[in-house]
Chains A and B, each alone.
Chain A
Amino acid sequence: MEMGLANGVTSASIQNYLDHWLLYGQLSLGLAILLSLMLMLLLPLRRGTFDRLRAFRRDEQASASLEFLLVFFPLLVLVLAVWQLAFMVNAQVHVGYAAYAAARSASTVAFTELDNEAEGVLLNRNEPEAEKWQRIERAAIPGTLAISPGSAESAGKAYLSTQAHGMLGDGPAPNFDSIDFGSLPGQIGALTIHRPGMILSGSRLRRAAVKALYAQAATRVLINGRDSRGNLADGNTANGPYDLSSSDTLSVTVEYDFWLHVPYAGRMMYIAFGGSELTSGITEPTLTLRSTVVTPTWPQLVAY
């Protein structure tokens, strides 16, 4: 099998970052305050006018605390940014795995003949008796499940954020507080990616179910630029069965709406990595991570 990994995360866009009014304003304000303090403390001041200020400048009491404050906040921002970045890299690793799993599934499932789907043909998922797309998407879920929010509150926020960015339909968010466990058996078990054994009870089950539900909503699989509902990568929509029978290779892309949950740093990363306009009220945005795997159709061996 020949599989190549293509990282879909775009490079940072400094221009995008600076252009954004919110962060630009915050940055300007912080810079102005910093400069004012430096001017106040370092410039020679006139006698009499600023005696008290001079005394303050020469006073070394609490200088350590001041130095701490000066260093701490930039360092905190840096730590948060690195924290968020690490989670993004971690998520990208998982999205890559999801793409691998989806590609492996697609290379076998797509060219199987099922009762209602001919060899090489996939029915759109919303059509009755469609099975292949379900299997392919189900294969991708274990990869993204581990990086999905596990609490109902977080998942709700993440879902709303993703929805606000237009990546999900306008329908009501699923109720993460009350999940029908029976509908998510496979995805729950898939937590075994990171954990031993099966998790089928207690708080782990609830967390797993929440993760599964969000992962299902936030994960999209595209094969040669078309997803399970007929949406094309160029924004158009295709109707009817998807005929891949003449394809030599499958380019399988997994897109996942990753929730940037680290305060402030999440927004920073969102803009840095080319996210669209932030929606009002969304403080923890979601960023679409994607990974593509190219695989030959139906890996096979000839026996002689």
Chain B
Amino acid sequence: MASALDRLHYDDSAQVSFLAVAAAVCFVALLAMVMNSNDIVRERMRVQEVADVTALSAATWQARGLNMISMINVLNSKILSMTVLVNSLNKTLPIVVTVAEVQETAFQACSAVPFVGPFCAVMATIVTVQKNVIKVMESVIEKIATITACKKAAWTIMEGLQSAAEGVRQTFPSIATVSAVAIASENGASFGVALNGGLITGSPTTALQLPVTSDGYETSDFCSAMNDGGPGYVMEGYDNNQGPVRLGKKIWDIVFIPFFNLLPHPIFYGFYSFYMAQLGCTPDAQAEDNKSKTQFYDLPTCRKYNASATWRLFFSRTNWVTAGDWDADDFVAWTSLNDNSSSGGLSQEEQDKFGDLGQYGEDVPAAEPQPELSRGPGYQALVTESPLLQVNAACTEGNSGSGYPLLNEAGTSQICGSSFGQCRWLNSHPKFTRYSGTHSRNPSGLDAERTGIYFLSETRESGIFIENDEEITRYRYTIYVWALSSSGEKVLEGDDLEEYVQDQTNGSASTEASNSNDSADSESCRNRIQPLLIDKGDNPENRMRYIAMVYTDIHPPFWSNLFNEPPARVTAYAQAQVYNKLSEDMFTQDWRARLEHSNLLESALSSDQGLSLPGSEAGIAEGILGSVNNH
């Protein structure tokens, strides 16, 4: 044994080979390290691209669906235009023929009169020719008119198209999701799925449909498209700001020029206006309607509407509170009824609706103006943040969209939604009180402007409560929130505000909606033709987004373990947005999909719109998501 060791000790053969082997092992290890990094990085890039493709695929399906619905809306507006034009002509041409026959008779009669006879004879011949031409037109138009009658072809087609649009609305999100799973699988992902953004930050039920609705929209919503067209009407024959009905009318104006002596223009205009009015599309009605409308902000969805309104009960809320719990801090803005410098455009009757809070003595700050506020005309208008009454409304003006800044009690900005579910805001009305400046709740001075939107009147009842074997007297306060946008005389159409009032008050609001135009045609097919337009009600912006989540199981080579613990799964996510390059309306067939920075999950984590995590964990999760996602 000793001799063997000695031999080994003195044996110097292959000593350099030993070094070479050691160096080679080192080189191979380094090579493996580089290969390992390359493999992981390449896999991450690949999975990220699969996520991108998956998100884009889903969003593209949604874009396809919106384009199809836009196309259907355009088709329906064209068919509707055709019905107006054809029916107008169908009524016009017989009268024109009658006029022609009268003129023909008159000219024939005067053809025997000396001096003018030759002229009358020529005119009689011309009118006869005109009459015959018009009669040919009449026979053709009469046949076409039959298909525009209710329950005939034109209306059946429109109803069919509407059903098709509804089918697209219901099915395309599902197709998008299924397609996304397939796309992810085809590109080598172990699993991948694309979810609509509404599933994360909104109502899951609505997120399973395209973000369009016919609720709240009427046939008259076709008017603008029929008259003015739009970006979606960019095609041969349509000039800018010229929809199909206006173009058709223009064509008939030209066609009727050779028949001007038969007075077709004024007759046609009359019937044209009549049929347009039936659809609620008369210029005067629209102008009046626009005049009476005001800007209406729905804060939970951060959408701005044009709405008509009058004095109406917006909603009421009742709570039992102890008198001491109701104090000045419940309200951030007060103006005094005693400030008679201006009536604010309100009649005494209107002012009386809001009572006098001073009757409650010290418990309620009857007239406690915030000195920081520059108050408007004197009536009781307030923005309240009472946690007891849960009437939250604190808004700044000047922004719209999902980033709409609100102010909470700490004076920091928040995103719309959640606890502001009751917040409605009427703005830009001459009779509103507008508050400017900062107030004590907002030390940071972020509050640029506030608009008084809630008008308070309340009743109070007392009640005895037993708590811990003690009797406590509490008062039952009811807040009635009134919204003002008009003098109270304007009768409203059923619009967004009306719906919201109904929603908020469960139908208890005093509403005075009526629509004489619609009632005139209530039995017609028209009430069944409604466009599918953007659903402004439930998180429409996030419903235009898709988040794709993709992972791939990987099987790293054995040497990966030499360097670190290799991941068994590589995950990535991406976000795509559906947008319209020309105009985001449902008459413009230019919906597209594009990747965007993935903020949906982050915002859901960091705000109270959807998922909620404690602040620090949310911050960490947000950062992790952001970093892993390469955006």
Contact = CB atoms under 8 A, between A and B. Distances in A.
Contact of A185 (B19, B59, B567, B623): B623
A138 interface: yes
A262 to B, nearest CB: 11
B437 interface: no
A55 interface: no
Contacts of A301: 56, 59-60, 63, 592-594
Contacts of A78: 23
B624 A90 contact: no
B52 A299 contact: yes
A189 B623 contact: yes
Interface string B1-29: 00000000000100110010001001100
B627 A100 contact: no
A114 B403 CA distance: 9
Nearest to A88: B34
B578 to A, nearest CB: 8
Nearest to B619: A185
B179 to A, nearest CB: 12
A285 interface: no
Given A86-B30, A300-B56, 8 more contacts: A86-B33, A93-B38, A100-B45, A105-B597, A115-B403, A142-B630, A187-B627, A303-B64
B627 A189 contact: yes
B41 A195 contact: no
Interface in A43-89: 63-64, 67-68, 71-72, 75, 78-79, 82-83, 86-87, 89
Contacts of A107: 595
Contacts of A21: none
A139 B623 contact: no
Q: Is the interface of A mostly helix, strand, loop or mixed?
A: helix
Closest 6 CB pairs of A and B: A186-B623, A189-B624, A300-B594, A185-B623, A303-B63, A86-B30
Most buried by A among B60, B594, B625: B594
Contacts of B630: 100-101, 104-105, 139, 142
Given A105-B597, A105-B631, A195-B564, A82 B45 contact: no
Contact of A93 (B23, B37, B56, B597): B37
B627 A112 contact: no
A196 interface: yes
Interface string A23-44: 0000000000000000000000
B565 interface: yes
A230 interface: no
26 contacts: A71-B16, A72-B19, A75-B19, A75-B23, A79-B26, A82-B26, A87-B30, A94-B41, A104-B48, A108-B597, A115-B399, A135-B631, A139-B626, A182-B619, A185-B621, A185-B624, A186-B620, A186-B627, A190-B627, A194-B564, A195-B564, A195-B565, A300-B593, A300-B594, A301-B56, A302-B592
Contacts of B56: 299-301
Most buried by B among A109, A112, A299, A303: A303
Contacts of B40: 193-194
A196 B568 contact: yes
A261 B591 CA distance: 53
Contacts of B12: 63-64, 67
Interface string A172-194: 00000000001011111110111
B26 A83 contact: yes
B101 interface: no
B143 interface: no
Contacts of B616: 182
Nearest to A186: B623
A298 B591 CA distance: 15
Interface residues of A, number: 59
A9 to B, nearest CB: 14
Interface residues of B, number: 56
A144 B33 CA distance: 16
A18 interface: no
B33 A190 contact: no
Interface string A112-123: 101100000000
B631 A90 contact: no
A138 B597 contact: no
B565 A196 contact: yes
B536 interface: no
Contacts of A185: 619-624
Contacts of A189: 620, 623-624, 627-628
A151 B596 CA distance: 36
A151 to B, nearest CB: 16
A3 to B, nearest CB: 9
A211 to B, nearest CB: 12
A150 B599 CA distance: 30
A105 B496 CA distance: 39
A196 B39 CA distance: 15
B569 interface: yes
Contact of B623 (A108, A146, A187): A187
Interface in B522-577: 564-569
Interface in B34-75: 34, 37-38, 40-41, 44-45, 48-49, 52, 56, 59-61, 63-64, 67
A208 to B, nearest CB: 11
Nearest to B20: A75
A200 B620 contact: yes
A303 B34 contact: no
Contacts of A82: 26-27, 30
Contacts of B592: 300-303
B555 to A, nearest CB: 13
Contact of A142 (B64, B620, B627): B627
